[in-house]
Every structure is written in C-alpha cells, then in structure tokens.
Amino acid sequence: MNLRPLLIVIVATVAATLGLAIVGWIQLPPDAQVPIHWGVDGQVNGYAPKAVGLLLIPAVTVGLSALLYFLPRFEPRAQNLARSGPAYVRMSSAVLILMAVVQLVLVATALGRPIDVTAVLSVGIGALFIVLGDVLGKVRSNFMFGVRTPWTLASDLSWNKTHRLIGRLFVILGFVVIATGVVGGGWPFFVVLIAGIGLILAVAFVYSYRVWKVDPNRQKVGEAG
C-alpha cells in the first residue's frame, strides 16, 4: 500500500497543531487556563493548565498518526487492504484534519476569539462522515477498518452490499449533522449525531446478517481469516 500521501498529511497536520500551540503559547500568560472540553450547549466546561491544554491535541495527533501509519502492516488480509489503499488514505487524512480543526477551535477559544464552537465542529464532523461515506463502498474486506460485523467478515457479498448502504447513510448523516449544528445549535446537533450513529450501527448489524444469510458462498461465522 502506498502510504506516502498519508505521510504528507501526517506531517502537515502535526505541524499545524504544533504551530497553533506555539501561537497560543506566545500569546497566553504562564498561568492561563486553556479550554479542553465543551458542553452540549457549546459553552466551555473544562480547563487545563497552559502546557497541557495546548499540547494535548498535538500529542493525540502524533499518537493517532503513528497508529494509522503502522497498523496496516499487521492486517491479515493485506492484499484486500492494499486494494483499499486510496480509501484508507482518504479516511485517515480526514480524521487527522479534524484533529487540526479541533486544535484551531481550542486555541482560538483560549485566545478569546469569538467562535461558534458547535457550528465549526458540526461542519468538521459532518465533513468527516461525508468522506467516510464516500470511501466505504471502495473498501475491500479487511479486519482493520470498515463495517466489521461477524457477517461482513464471513461474506464478501455481505461486506460489499453493507458498505454501499452504510456509505450512503453516512453521507446523508454528514449533511444533516452540518445543517443541524449550524442552524439548530448544541442540543439538536448532539441528538442528531448520537441518534444517527446509533441508527446506522443498528442498520449495519441487521442488514449485514440478512445478506450473509442468503449468500451461497458465505463462510461460517468465526471461520473467516
């Protein structure tokens, strides 16, 4: 799998989160308390000391980057994952870019900049869902990412059909999350996000089983490898 494009995104996002941390470090006093948590209403309800608050997201981004870059080496279905390479890179890149957006929100809020946290995060999360939905149909059966139910892993037919359906649902959810967060605010955004994810998980569970059940080439659950 060609992970060079992902490596470029990793370097860029880590640099961006560290750069924002440096900006905050220079402008904030030593005893500043940096916001690290927001309530459903979009108001800050959790703070951390300056060093922790500014370096938390960069540290998480570095750890997540290492995980996303090296994890493919341990995939049992390596050939399938290699065929899913572009989708994996896009998915991973979207996750890392969202981390940079979160760091931007954190630093901007710490510096007292007027920012609608709910609107910004709803756009970021909604865009992530849209990207995921767009790539899911291109992902081949593997143990690392995708809709991994016992039945999708035991049936290529179940995997392919479930991913096409869930991909469409993720795209729809992404647009609804963006619209709700921008127009409706905190509570509607939170309710739609949680309910939407729960509904999609339930659909994936039931639908993947039903397709597996009618697949003449299905494996027994637990025998997939």
Q: What's the confidence (pLDDT) of residue 193?
A: 94
CA distance 181 to 129: 14
Q: Which two tokens stand for residue 78?
A: 């390596």
Any bridge partners for residue 49, and if so which?
A: 33
CA distance 40 to 88: 31
Q: What's the confidence (pLDDT) of residue 43?
A: 81
Tokens 């490898």, located at residue: 225
pLDDT tens for the chain, residues 1 to 225: 789 999 999 999 999 999 999 999 999 999 999 988 888 777 888 889 999 999 999 999 999 999 999 988 888 888 888 888 899 999 999 999 999 999 999 999 999 888 888 899 999 999 999 999 999 999 999 888 889 999 999 999 999 999 999 999 999 999 999 999 998 878 888 999 999 999 999 999 999 999 999 999 888 876 655
Residues 6+ positions from 106 with CB-CB distance below 8 Å: 34, 35, 36, 53, 54, 57
CA dihedral 7, 12, 17, 21 (to 10 degrees): 130
Cβ 34 vs Cβ 24: under 8 Å:
yes
Give φ, ψ of 90 to 5 degrees.
Answer: -65, -45
Cβ 190 vs Cβ 40: under 8 Å:
yes
Q: What's the confidence (pLDDT) of residue 224?
A: 58
Q: What's the confidence (pLDDT) of residue 56?
A: 95
